[in-house]
Amino acid sequence: MAEHAGRAAAVPRGARLRLSPRLRRTLGRLAVNPTAWLGFAILGTVIGLAAFAPVLFPGDPLDMVAEPFVRPFVALAHPLGTDSLGRDVAAGIVHGARASLLVGFVAALVGTLVGTAIGAVAGYRGGLVDDLLVRLTELFQTIPSFIFLVVLVAIVPPKAVWVALAIGIVSWPTVARLVRAEFRSLRRRDFVLAARSVGHSASHIVLREILPNALPAIIVTGSVMVASAILLESALSFLGMGDPDVVSWGAMIGSGREQLRTAWYLTALPGAAIVVTVLALNLVGDALNDALNPRLEDR
């Protein structure tokens, strides 16, 4: 993630007015990048499946609808087979896209919001406040994050939303460091000094002047965070700490891991869904990064 910090920091900065042509350039660069297309296509499909899950597979995906252990590609009614309780795997994967994306996005949102707030205040204010917040960030980076996560999940109610919040809480320090660095470099720029001399308030300067310029870097980091949150949720589920009440890919792996040797597809299919989605998110992140960082093409 530090790579995004490094690269995004090199994006030429301008006043707010110049964002618009930049955005146009960015979109233009995205449009000619084949991996960006691939990433967005996969992600769009996953989001589409999640959105239309109740139409595609009506009913509760946790319902036991058939014999257990129907193999995939054997029965037309259950194209991806059924699990050890006779629940439809295809329905699980489609409905699971909702929970997994939800966990991913909520976690990334929480992590990004907290990290941006702390990083922005630290970077903009500097001085003692900065010192304190940097210490706080370091503190949370010093605690091994997965242990921290397991402890948090042991404390909070075992609900998907809480798991997502916990993942967000362990991921904010990365964003905070990134945003702080951005703000430190931006706050001395001409357009910020100009805004300050005109008498704009600090909140105006932070939210209206600096933040939009730091946004590309934050978005890139955010997209990667969604991916890692989905991975973290699956790891928690593997350790048996998921939420059994909603179908998520992690939960499917969690309940299928016992049958790993007898029914490989129960972990392989949701595992593949995770890999494909995380891959798409990372492709999108990379593409955004390349598009927002024009220097690579200047070479």
Residues 256-275 binding other proteins (CB under 8 A) are 257-263, 267, 271, 274-275
Among 22, 37, 72, 84, binds other proteins (CB under 8 A): 84
Q: Taking the complex as a whole, how short is the minimal distance between the CB of residue 200 and other proteins, in angstroms?
A: 25
Q: Which of 68, 103, 54 is nearest to 265 (CA)?
A: 68
82 and 65 Cβ atoms separated by less than 8 Å: yes
Please give the residues from 186 up to 225 whose contact with other proteins meets the rule CB under 8 A.
none
Q: How far is the CB of 215 from other proteins (least distance, A)?
A: 19
**Whether 14 contacts 210, CB under 8 Å:** no
CA 93 to chain centre: 19
One of 42, 62, 66, 117 touching other proteins (CB under 8 A):
62
- Can you tell me the distance from the alpha carbon of 211 to that of 238, in angstroms, rounded to the nearest whole number? 38
With CB under 8 A as the contact rule, which of the stretches 74-82, 105-113, 147-155, 198-206 interacts with other proteins? 147-155
Annotate 147-159 with b (16+ C-beta within 10 A) or e (fewer).
eebbebbeeeeee
| Residue 74 or 296 with smaller CB distance to other proteins | 296
Asked if 174 contacts 110 with a C-beta cutoff of 8 angstroms, the reply is no
Q: Which of 139, 193, 194, 207 binds other proteins (CB under 8 A)?
A: 139
Annotate each residue in 1-30 with x if it binds other proteins (CB under 8 A) or - if it does not, as one string: -xx--xx--x--------------------
294 binds other proteins (CB under 8 A): no
In single-letter form, the type of residue at position 183 comes to F
Interface residue with other proteins among 11, 97, 99, 181 (CB under 8 A) is: 181
- 177 in contact with other proteins (CB under 8 A): yes
Binding of other proteins by 283 (CB under 8 A): yes
Residue 102: burial class (beta carbons within 10 Å; 0-12, 13-18, 19+): middle
CB under 8 A: which stretch of 19-27, 204-212, 214-222, 228-236 binds other proteins? 228-236
Residue with tokens 């910020």: 192
